[in-house]
Structure 1
Amino acid sequence: MCGIVGAVASRNVVPILIEGLSRLEYRGYDSAGVAVLDGTIKRVRAVGRVAEMQNKANAEHLTGQVGIGHTRWATHGGVTESNAHPHVSRGDIAVVHNGIIENHDEQRTRLKLLGYVFESQTDTEVIAHLIHYYTAQGKDLLAAVKSAVAELTGAFAISVISVKTPDYMVCARLGCPLLIGLGEGENFIASDVSAVLSVTRNVIYLEDGDVAEIKREGVTIFDRDGLVATRQVHKSDVSLASMELGPYSHFMQKEIHEQPRAVTDTIEAIIDDNRFSPALFGDGAEAVFDQVDSVLILAAGTSYYAGLTAKYWLESLAEIPVNVEIASEYRYRKSVPNPKQLIVTISQSGETLDTMEALKHAKSLGQTLTLAICNVQESAIPRASKLVLYTRAGAEIGVASTKAFTTQLIALFTLAVTLAKQRALLSPVQEQTYLGELRHLPGSIQHALNLEPQIREWAKAFAHKHHALFLGRGMHYPIALEGALKLKEISYIHAEAYPAGELKHGPLALVDEDMPVVVIAPNDTLLEKVKSNMQEVRARGGELFVFADADSHFTESEGVHVIRTPRHVGILSPILHTIPVQLLAYHAALLKGTDVDKPRNLAKSVTVE
């Protein structure tokens, strides 16, 4: 969840580090720091945003040609300058770290007995002292890092510099993302490609267990067996413009409004080919799909709600049993493996640790039919999967996922229809109908975005509330869950979601005039049931805010507010109804004055358990 950047060059790298950290700030923003080599280790740290640290670095005229930087999302220890990275051991070793060291207590006890004094509460300081210990035994920095990481349990991406070796740095990864950026006479490391886009587009993604030596003239990578490894060089197609706000006030606002384009880009391959084909999922997909007798979806957060929506599509269209599990729970229970089950992992970043570990666990049980749905090319989860379908949402900076979610839904719908076709359950006429509905979807999303002025007015009724309830039925229940998550993530209003039919089994006790109730009520087969549930709310004095379709025949009245999307879009309705709940959360947060893009206690890429 933290951000890492490093550079080895023949110029002052401090501006490069600070710019990189500013682009990584969405990954963690409790504190920030940089350390450079300039005869000694010179370090600047600050609690708060990168800008606070930058002011201190400028005031101290910090310069150096080898350096590392970090933005922190606190795990071990509070948000204090002493807990901020980089951490230094005896003025010689400086380390930045993303991840969690599970055996840090054991190592801390050992190192204290060896005379090391700890200045922070973090697990990271253990790494710095452990590396120093091995350099004190006569090992060079590379060998010391290899020895140290061999003793660490957990997940980590680290970068290390030393006063004794002022012309290079060493980095290592296990379970957390880390890449190398290749320049001309200079090289870089980062936890995300966005941090190095201003200096290079040529990147190498390190694999689990890799340790690398980074010098000006080149890099050397060693695999988990200590052998020199060759890793493929990729040319990043992420644009710097996509990382800029442009005319928008927040990245979340920008990304909500980018959804027509993101959806268009994601469905482009399907529409261009005018069919749903297993080839969309990679080589060998047809053979894999022929073997599948059930589906298990593993995901976390918003991606989990995408999986819940997909369950409705997969079971109704492909007539295949589907189970959806929270990734962090799956591997800690005894399950019954099925080698014919398709394991579908969903992750925006492709680096979500809970999901990655769940995938590893499934494979360890002999479940090798794996498919990743992901937004980031060449990230860890796709690399570990047999098949992959990349969404084309583009860079998503706002912590609260928006366009990544809607494009995940597109990918999952594509999977459902493709499996239905593979299982001879899809007629050519129905296939063309679904293709037509996909073609029209971006326009329908734009129409939903045009409802923003009305939703902005609704937000005024939420901004001073402490609680809200979201209701949906069928395949719209997961969208109610997503709406509640968005509201609580960025406005800090406590929100819960329930299937509307469950209201009378407990949640109705919460309903009064201070509990706004949001209802997702498309014109589908469950509409009349939803209307009955709404009457239960009104009878208890609850105020209803209904997102309906144009032909749903709702009438506004006292305590019942209605906003209508232009038309019902059939089976793709969950995607369309996602847009209004995103906008409601965004405008409620604006009115409350919260940090929309960087909500407290949260970070974008969750690479810790």
Structure 2
Amino acid sequence: MTSQMRREILEIPEAVERLLSQGADPIARIAAAAREADPAYAVTVARGSSDHACTFLKYAFELELGLPVASIGPSVASIYGAKLNLGRSICLAVSQSGKSPDIVAMTKSAGESGAMTVAVTNDATSPLAEVAAHCIDIQAGPERSVAATKTFITSAMAGLMLLAEWKDDEALRQGLRSAPEAFAKAAEGTWPELRAAIAEKHSLFTLGRGPSWAISNEAALKFKETCQIHAESYSAAEVLHGPVSIVDDGFPVLLFATNDAAKRAVLDVADQLVAKGARAFITSDQPCKAESLSFVRTDHALTDAVSLMVSFYSMVNEVAADRGINPDAPRHLKKVTETV
């Protein structure tokens, strides 16, 4: 039986197309406001998959705009009641439901502290949207599976749309326009060779560098959330500093590589891990000791990274089925976690 998670993965291209059309004008207006505000830095407020989207956008904004981005722990406001000086900043608060009290509290506090606040949410009438000065509706449509898929992708894409308009970046706009078709193809890949290597394994690494490290973080969460596999995400720059000690013969490693400046470094780490006994898989067709996974490129390295996540979601849904686990109802979890 097809899972709800799988149905929602297949809805990703349509959701992104809807975001590109219906979200274009509101996002352009917010980008114009951001240019006028001319922030010195950005901050993000999020948890879980939304926080991984923020990590992705951190790299995107730093690389493309030269704008430093820092993550703020929501408990700074909700638990500790601390006031931050956020004058001359822009605050991106990302939450699919827009209901978590700590995200709402931190966003409200950020606005009161001088930040230009932007809610990125799947509910434009949510408490988060109400406290933010601006709102981006990610247009994902209902997402019923506990594991976020559509909302992660559309949150990341909404942030890239904001970046493209803020920078007036035609190359990124083209990458965004090409994404729905690429994502439809990516959703068909299930990486059977990686699934076979995982089999009954209970631990693995996911790795990336730069924007693809954010993708790696989301992948590790989904392995835990939907498959009950202990997956740890590391930057390819960090894994050899200590975590590599647990690698033994056949230890599975999934490396996310995109066609950007970090690709060669990720390939080099893959080679070193294979030499230590790992069974490594990589989203690259460059010569390498790791096994190549299929991938679908867009017209830009940043949207390429998002495309890899679509392929991963399709694969991890199958891993859950292989293990007899219902990915729509992970144990101990519910769809909306309202953290104080």
Question: Residue 278 of structure 1 corresponds to which residue in structure 2?
Answer: 28
Q: Secondary structure at the match of 1:407?
A: helix
CA deviation map 1:120-148 (0-9, x unaligned)? xxxxxxxxxxxxxxxxxxxxxxxxxxxxx
Question: Residue 297 of structure 2 corresponds to which residue in structure 1?
Answer: 567
Among 339, 344, 347, the alignment partner of 2:87 is 339
Partner Cα separation in structure 2 for residue 286 and residue 444 of structure 1: 29
Query: Does the Cα contact within 8 Å between 2:45 and 2:106 map onto a contact in 1?
Result: yes
Say yes or no: does 1:591 pair with 2:329. no
CA deviation map 1:121-177 (0-9, x unaligned)? xxxxxxxxxxxxxxxxxxxxxxxxxxxxxxxxxxxxxxxxxxxxxxxxxxxxxxxxx
CA deviation map 1:95-126 (0-9, x unaligned)? xxxxxxxxxxxxxxxxxxxxxxxxxxxxxxxx
Question: Residue 102 of structure 2 corresponds to which residue in structure 1?
Answer: 354
Distance 1:277 1:461, change over 3 A: closer
Alignment of 1:426-575 (within 5 A): 426=168, 431-452=169-190, 455-548=191-284, 552-554=285-287, 560-567=290-297, 569-575=300-306
Alpha-carbon distance, 1:503 to partner = 1.4
Say yes or no: does 1:290 pair with 2:36. yes
Partner Cα separation in structure 1 for residue 155 and residue 27 of structure 2: 17
Distance 1:277 1:592, change over 3 A: closer
Q: Secondary structure at the match of 1:371?
A: strand
Give the letter aligned to residue 360 of structure 1. Answer: K
Mean Cα displacement is larger for which, 403-412 or 321-330?
A: 321-330
Question: Residue 194 of structure 1 corresponds to which residue in structure 2?
Answer: none
Say yes or no: does 1:578 pair with 2:297. no
Question: Residue 337 of structure 2 corresponds to which residue in structure 1?
Answer: 606
RMSD: 2.2
TM superposition score normalised by structure 1: 0.53
Alignment of 1:82-231 (within 5 A): none
Say yes or no: does 1:261 pair with 2:7. no
Query: Does the Cα contact within 8 Å between 1:347 and 1:373 map onto a contact in 2?
Result: yes
Mean Cα displacement is larger for which, 469-478 or 510-519?
A: 510-519
Instruction: Give the number of aligned pairs.
Output: 337
CA deviation map 1:358-395 (0-9, x unaligned)? 2233245x235211000113111001111001011100
Query: Does the Cα contact within 8 Å between 1:465 and 1:514 map onto a contact in 2?
Result: no
Partner Cα separation in structure 2 for residue 359 and residue 432 of structure 1: 31
Partner Cα separation in structure 2 for residue 567 and residue 361 of structure 1: 40
Q: Which has the higher relative contact order, 1 or 2, with Cα contacts under 8 A spaced 6 or more apart?
A: 2
CA deviation map 1:168-201 (0-9, x unaligned)? xxxxxxxxxxxxxxxxxxxxxxxxxxxxxxxxxx
Partner Cα separation in structure 1 for residue 101 and residue 199 of structure 2: 34
Partner Cα separation in structure 2 for residue 534 and residue 323 of structure 1: 29
Alpha-carbon distance, 1:581 to partner = 1.9
Alpha-carbon distance, 1:534 to partner = 0.9
Which of the two has greater helix per residue?
2
Question: Residue 155 of structure 2 corresponds to which residue in structure 1?
Answer: 408
Partner Cα separation in structure 1 for residue 83 and residue 253 of structure 2: 37
Question: Alignment identity in percent?
Answer: 27
Q: Which runs of 5+ in 2 are unaligned?
A: none
Partner Cα separation in structure 2 for residue 410 and residue 482 of structure 1: 15
Which of the two has greater strand per residue?
1
Q: Which runs of 5+ in 1 are unaligned?
A: 1-247, 421-425
Q: Secondary structure at the match of 1:564?
A: coil
Distance 1:356 1:436, change over 3 A: same
Q: Secondary structure at the match of 2:147?
A: coil
CA deviation map 1:415-438 (0-9, x unaligned)? 222332xxxxx4xxxx33322221
Alpha-carbon distance, 1:571 to partner = 2.5
Query: Does the Cα contact within 8 Å between 2:188 and 2:311 map onto a contact in 1?
Result: no
Alignment of 1:234-253 (within 5 A): 249-253=2-6
Query: Does the Cα contact within 8 Å between 2:138 and 2:155 map onto a contact in 1?
Result: yes
Give the letter aligned to residue 293 of structure 2. Answer: I
Partner Cα separation in structure 1 for residue 258 and residue 170 of structure 2: 23
Alpha-carbon distance, 1:400 to partner = 0.7
TM superposition score normalised by structure 2: 0.92
Larger of the two Rg values belongs to structure: 1
Give the letter aligned to residue 574 of structure 1. Answer: A
Question: Residue 161 of structure 1 corresponds to which residue in structure 2?
Answer: none
Partner Cα separation in structure 1 for residue 20 and residue 255 of structure 2: 29
Query: Does the Cα contact within 8 Å between 1:346 and 1:373 map onto a contact in 2?
Result: yes
